[in-house]
Structure 1
């Protein structure tokens, strides 16, 4: 029996089809489904069965995303609450705003563990809801809370688009987040917009622009905020990529001072709340990029803390990045064999998102330059698990 219609399924199906460059007709030929049936699924006019979702997953190489959207229960209470709020948009009560803000925190906390393609439809839906409420009659106080929520959602959406290498969409939503933050006079969101741009251009090799954006973010971020710490850490990364070890160390010292008495936040997995574990992971990355001899020791400690059992731990995306960091440090230390093993584990986990794939490619290049024959193992893993290929059945990328 078909499940209830979840609009997220149609959005996800359309995005995976577009990503493959398929028309409805051509997808229908591949999946042995009629064009009209696929149109109804994308438009939300018909609910897919679990078997149909699984079949489309296989055809599109969606890694189980579509099936999970069908199998996951729909939050009917939340949808009913949204409908009531839309009808009474002229009186947005505090309970509605509280639920919106809670939803923002939930989505930001899902970012480290949820696959970008899974998270994006949820963020889009919440952002659209906030937009509809802003179109209604609200008080100034209510408007500001909605603007702040919309700002956080827009910068999170931009970050997810970056992870998926959809840079035009990311740029558009960063502009929207900046505008919302300016209207709300919210310096921290404005700083996160700059820091997010800094990370994006850094991954594209524009290190000087990354440096400038990181410094701009620090100037406008509120004192003691997570945005200021993150932007400072981003500056250190930019110096590391430029190759200035002295400047890298000096900025890392500033990060250490900023985080010296930092408590573990209530939701440490929240993407926009800095925590001590994140500080250690950033230090490991930065030292590895700078070629600093101290990178190996820090990277080993970070990996041991994140993944003590070797199963990915509670933050599998960070664990995968930690393996790449340690691998890079080991190559520099003349230990390419262990670096190959760590790199292969990272890419095979399915947790290296498309925007971070260059880090795996960089490690591969380093181990191949070392001349170790084991480099072929890492190359094979990179080919097998490269973005766009379907991940292994027991993997849930994030």
Structure 2
């Protein structure tokens, strides 16, 4: 418990100060909810996960805790501190700009570009709703700077920063299944990239759309967009590799084995001479270790038994941080890959355990819920007794999704 976040310790302290058991708290949450919650045992597991700091409560549960304890969100979850910290970040850049006696200056642009890199690096480990708030604040600052006086070079750099931020915002919206604002931000990113003449950013926009339609089940369009991104991208760039990997995943969903393996082979040839980037967690810098994770996903989707050892190897590295610091969100997806591969190789019992671990990690975002549903359907077809527990856990995921979509 000593390593738990401060908000998790506060949740536990508020409960114990009232001498409530977790079961009593579950009853209290149900009373203040006014809507259906998971059955008591599932709710107790959720409370336990929150108090251990395994995953931060989403908006719905945060509100319920505030009602149950009659406390504000700022007091219970330090929301005010987060907002103040973000304001400090923007204010620091604004102070530099004023010190330069210019509407836009070199130091201001450099600090803004560093902030963009920091946000892109925070993507793998940040809840998409939280990261989206930071992206919005920075986009507002870019908009103000674009209204000021600046040189042609400064204008282009602002367009590029605004483009990356808009693209990252679109990605967060897709993670949350908020497709209308995602499309708007993606259009903005494309326009800014084209105005700036930035081929790499333009290609990332197309690749991101390919990912969105893949998640939405339009696999043929995902192939077309992935190939389009490769045509735009600088050869051998991070986005060129990512778009090639995305093409392979789309072919796998279409059940085209030769095309799938051709794409995988192209990715492996592109990745083999690469060294890890300075910031492997950066969403727009291809990390060679990511290649194995994509291979595991792609092989599991096409039903290749080789997906099992691949996924086990990827998961072991992610859980231990062998490729750097642990990456819990990527590890959760690796568990889904492993579970699907285990089902294909007639190992359903382990598949159930692995899927439950992925769900309870709190690291699966809405854009990956369909993958969980696919596994559950496979388990239910086998009429395993554990299917009901898996379905209950998935129902909780769906509750989170509805809460996030209401934001």
> TM-score w.r.t. structure 1 length?
0.79
Mean Cα deviation higher: 136-145 or 87-96: 87-96
1:232 Cα shift? Answer: 0.2
Deviations 1:355-395 (A, max 9, x none): 1111111111111112322222211221234352799xxxx
Structure 2 CA distance for partners of 1:139 and 1:60, relative to 1, 3 Å:
farther
Match of 2:89 among 54, 73, 78: 78
d(CA) in 2 for partners of 1:107, 1:308: 24
Structure 1 residue 92, shift from structure 2 partner: 1.6
- Counterpart pick for 2:396 among 381, 384, 393: 384
SS of the residue aligned with 2:149? coil
Q: State how far apart, in whole Å, the 2-side matches of 1:373 and 1:97 are.
A: 58
Equivalent-residue separation in structure 2 for 1:89 and 1:161 (angstroms): 37
Q: For residue 6 of structure 2, what is the aligned residue in structure 1? A: none
* Number of residue pairs matched by the alignment: 337
Listed as ranges, the gaps of 5+ residues in structure 1 are 1-29, 32-52, 392-398
Residue matched to 2:339:
327
Q: Deviations over 1:24-49 (max 9, x none)?
A: xxxxxx89xxxxxxxxxxxxxxxxxx
Choose from 129, 145, 148 the match for 2:141. Answer: 129
RMSD of aligned C-alpha atoms? 2.6
Deviations 1:61-95 (A, max 9, x none): 9xx79824224462565343344467678442211
Matches within 5 A, 1:207-246: 207-246=219-258
CA distance in 1, matches of 2:338, 2:189: 35
Preserved CA contact (<8 Å) 1:364 1:379: yes
Alpha-carbon distance in structure 2 between the residues aligned to 1:240 and 1:300: 20
- Counterpart of 1:291 in structure 2 is 303
Residue 193 (str. 1) matches residue 205 (str. 2): yes
- Per the TM alignment, residue 245 of structure 1 is displaced from its structure 2 partner at its CA by 1.3
Change (3 A) 1:60 1:286: farther
- 2:369 is matched with which residue? 357
Secondary structure at the aligned position of 1:177 is classed as: helix
- Hey, what does 2:43 align to over in structure 1? none
1:94 aligns with 2:106: yes
TM-score by structure 2 length? 0.78
Structure ranking higher in helix proportion: 2
Task: Indicate how the Cα distance of structure 1 residues 151 and 367 shifts in structure 2: closer, same or farther if over 3 A, else same.
Answer: same
Matched, 1:58 2:65: yes
How many angstroms apart in 2 are the aligned matches of 1:280 and 1:249?
A: 14
Gaps in structure 2 of 5+ consecutive residues: 1-31, 34-59
TM-superposition CA deviations, 1:97-135 (whole Å, max 9, x none): 110000000000000001011111100011111111111
Q: 2:218 maps to which residue? A: 206
Contact 1:162–1:170 (CA<8 Å) still a contact in 2? yes
On the 8 A contact 2:156/2:196 being kept in 1, the answer is yes
User: Whole-Å Cα distance in 2 between the matches of residues 208 and 198 of structure 1?
Assistant: 10
